[in-house]
């Protein structure tokens, strides 16, 4: 059902008036009892926000329709509860799932009128608390005051992240489609982590109840030692009975996953072909910026960060006098690493990147160590904080594992199957250690609501220290610039120019924009000559220039000039010049060609360049976006540029229909 719903959203994305209707219906239906359980309204809000960030929708209208739908949906549920009261529990589906109404009762009794606001952010309770409020006779004035407040908080919280994401995608797409792919992978990691944690917590009781019934039936048929352990786990007086069952399920599921991946790797089945495809895809989207970003994120799982967390948890457990917990955890870390090294030696599987220092990679001990440290830390924190904080802790832990694994696959440290195998095996050990700790210490530990903040500070401090020490550099295997091939001016003008591209190339296509300039000169000479013609170097990306993207009245020249990629290489030289009006400007970008032209005394680099006329589009609020003016030919812009520039034109050639000017001012 969710797939069909998302497909409908994509179809409506090109029709703003219908998309606003979808926003209202999604917010409305998500708040209606029973129906709201099956409507992914948060996904619709995020998508609407993303479309707003790209300039397709108005932010004010999206927020207004989302709030109206949320208020109307809660109002309908409140009316149903007040109209039918106690008869609701006898109607389907409440008669079949009475625990839903009971959960709503408990939540309302605990939080009172505030529950209408709080439940808006808790999926399983969002559609039932207004019904309970009506059943219990809450006054309409008080309910609608809380209802409106909840909508005012809920709509921006779900839409604004989508706006940021959509704007980021739009800006990244203006630079390179490769950045869009990397951004989508990171955003997908965040979404997947949150959804996985929310699914686990929201269905924990149902899954544990079903597992408890099957386990109880098995324990009755087996009165031996294993049966006694099972009956102890099912003791309703045990405070952590649900957590114990969930840990047991994790052991079974992750164990089955690990052996399934192991079989695929040994047999060379389709999963190994997926490994090859994913690795080639990751190499195709690599950029210097992507390398830097993922190298920084990879320090979340570096030896220094993991060691800092191990020391922190050890001191924490010593302070709580949990001696056995320390022993269990350290034993799990040591034993799992020994087992992984033994498996790696037996499998002898090489890393995708031959320059990596790792000898064997299945299963990945890097991913496994990250899972064990962050997974067990999440277990300790989740038992000592509230439900919402627990959800955030589990989400953050899952996100760290996904990002660290993604960075390893991106840099070719290991294959996808190695990451999955290492994570599955490590989660087995984490669940076993957690299970042992809960059986040994069934009573809930004292609350430590400040501990997640301390852990976050330690992680950030570790990453900052590694950044200061230069440890965030991409690993070996990152492509280094090749030496320039030296040619004479005659070779360049007769044949070498033909080997250079006529259009800028990106993953989104090979004809992005014509490369109408080839200039043999050093950087300083280019800067000097362009300054004399009124050009200035492009505004650097800074806090001030980024804020100008949302300024209500800003000239085009005050906005940052976005670099662009040509076949994965960023533009090295970027210049701009004011246009005829304050909403226009000309932009000039140069990329290295890989050649140097020898003038007898020295060789100067040869650059390929593109010139474009950009116009400010203010209709794309909340962002001021500069778009290439399609009404102005880049060939005409080139002619005006050449006429005004005091540089020697060696020749003008035809590159598959693209007129290219060969400039050699430094050779005169």
Cα separation, 210 vs 661, whole angstroms: 74
Contacts of 273 (CB under 8 A, 6+ apart): none
Helix (H, G, I), strand (E, B) or coil at 38: helix
Gyration radius from the chain CA atoms? 30
What secondary structure letter does DSSP report for 36? G
Helices within 176-240 (DSSP H only): 177-202, 204-221, 225-233
Specify the pTM: 0.62
Q: 353 near 413, Cβ under 8 Å?
A: yes
Alpha-carbon dihedral angle through residues 317, 321, 323, 324, given to the nearest 10 degrees: -90
**pLDDT means over runs of 10, the chain (668 residues):** 46 62 84 65 76 74 88 87 74 64 77 81 75 84 88 86 72 59 65 62 53 57 58 50 64 81 78 76 73 85 89 86 78 80 83 69 87 88 79 83 88 87 87 76 77 89 80 59 82 90 71 85 89 81 60 76 77 87 89 86 87 74 70 80 77 89 70
pLDDT on residue 374: 92
Which of these, 193, 252, 244, lies nearest to 424 by C-alpha position?
252
The residue to which tokens 């799932």 are assigned: 97
Q: 492 near 606, Cβ under 8 Å?
A: yes
Cα separation, 424 vs 261, whole angstroms: 9
Domain residue ranges in the chain: 2-174, 237-468, 485-667
Which of these, 624, 454, 468, 609, lies nearest to 545 by C-alpha position?
624
Strand partners, 609: 517, 590
């Amino acid at each position: 059902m969710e797939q069909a719903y998302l497909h409908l959203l994509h179809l409506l994305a090109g029709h703003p008036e219908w998309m606003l209707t979808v926003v209202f219906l999604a917010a409305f239906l998500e708040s209606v009892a029973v129906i709201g359980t099956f409507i992914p309204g948060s996904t619709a809000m995020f998508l609407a926000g993303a479309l707003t960030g790209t300039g397709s929708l108005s932010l004010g209208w999206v927020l207004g329709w989302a709030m109206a739908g949320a208020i109307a949906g809660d109002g309908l549920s409140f009316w149903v509860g007040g109209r039918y009261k106690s008869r609701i529990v006898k109607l389907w589906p409440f008669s079949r799932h009475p625990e839903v109404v009971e959960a709503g009762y408990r939540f309302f009794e605990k939080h009172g009128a505030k529950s209408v606001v709080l439940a808006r952010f808790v999926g399983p309770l969002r559609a039932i608390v207004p019904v309970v409020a009506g059943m219990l006779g809450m006054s309409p004035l008080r309910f609608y005051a809380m209802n409106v407040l909840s909508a005012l908080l809920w709509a921006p919280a779900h839409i604004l992240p989508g706006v940021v994401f959509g704007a980021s995608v739009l800006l990244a797409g203006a630079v390179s489609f490769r950045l869009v792919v990397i951004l989508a992978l990171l955003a997908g990691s965040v979404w997947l982590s949150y959804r996985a944690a929310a699914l686990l917590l929201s269905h924990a009781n149902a899954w544990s109840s079903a597992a408890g019934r099957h386990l109880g039936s098995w324990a009755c048929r087996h009165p031996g030692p294993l049966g006694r352990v099972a009956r102890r786990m099912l003791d309703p007086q045990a405070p952590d009975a649900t957590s114990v069952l969930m840990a047991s399920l994790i052991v079974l599921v992750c164990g089955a996953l690990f052996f399934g991946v192991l079989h695929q790797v040994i047999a060379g089945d389709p999963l190994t072909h997926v490994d090859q495809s994913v690795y080639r895809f990751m190499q195709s989207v690599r950029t210097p910026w992507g390398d830097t970003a993922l190298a920084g994120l990879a320090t979340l799982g570096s030896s220094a960060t993991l060691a800092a967390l191990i020391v922190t948890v050890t001191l924490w457990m010593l302070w709580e006098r949990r001696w056995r917990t320390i022993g269990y955890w350290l034993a799990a870390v040591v034993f799992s690493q020994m087992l992984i090294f033994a498996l790696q030696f037996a499998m002898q599987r090489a890393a995708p990147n031959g320059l990596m220092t790792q000898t064997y990679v299945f299963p990945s001990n890097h991913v496994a160590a990250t899972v064990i440290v962050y997974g067990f830390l999440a277990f300790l924190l989740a038992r000592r904080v509230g439900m919402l904080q627990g959800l955030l802790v589990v989400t953050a832990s899952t996100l760290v594992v996904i990002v660290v694994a993604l960075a390893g696959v991106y840099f070719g440290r290991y294959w996808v199957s190695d990451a999955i195998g290492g994570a599955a095996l490590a989660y087995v050990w984490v669940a076993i250690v957690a299970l042992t700790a809960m059986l040994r210490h069934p009573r809930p530990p004292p609350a430590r609501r400040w501990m997640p903040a301390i852990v976050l500070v330690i992680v950030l401090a570790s990453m900052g220290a590694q950044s200061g020490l230069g440890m965030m550099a991409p690993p070996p295997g990152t492509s280094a610039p090749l030496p320039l091939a030296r040619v004479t001016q005659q070779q360049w003008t007769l044949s070498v120019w033909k080997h250079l591209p006529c259009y800028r190339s990106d993953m989104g296509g090979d004809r992005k924009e014509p490369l109408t300039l080839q200039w043999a000169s050093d950087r300083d000479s280019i800067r000097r000559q362009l300054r004399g013609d009124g050009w200035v170097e492009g505004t650097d990306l800074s806090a001030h220039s980024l804020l100008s993207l949302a300024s209500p009245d800003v000239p085009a020249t005050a906005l940052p000039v976005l670099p662009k990629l040509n076949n994965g290489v960023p533009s090295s030289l970027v210049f701009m010049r004011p246009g005829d009006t304050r909403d226009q400007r000309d932009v000039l970008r140069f990329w290295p060609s890989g050649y140097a032209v020898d003038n007898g005394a020295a060789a100067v680099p040869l650059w390929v360049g593109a010139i474009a006329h950009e116009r400010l589009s203010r209709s794309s609020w909340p962002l001021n976006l500069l778009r290439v003016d399609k009404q102005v030919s880049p060939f005409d812009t080139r002619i005006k540029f050449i006429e005004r520039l005091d540089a020697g034109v060696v020749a003008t050639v035809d590159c598959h229909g693209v007129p290219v000017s060969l400039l050699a001012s430094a050779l005169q």
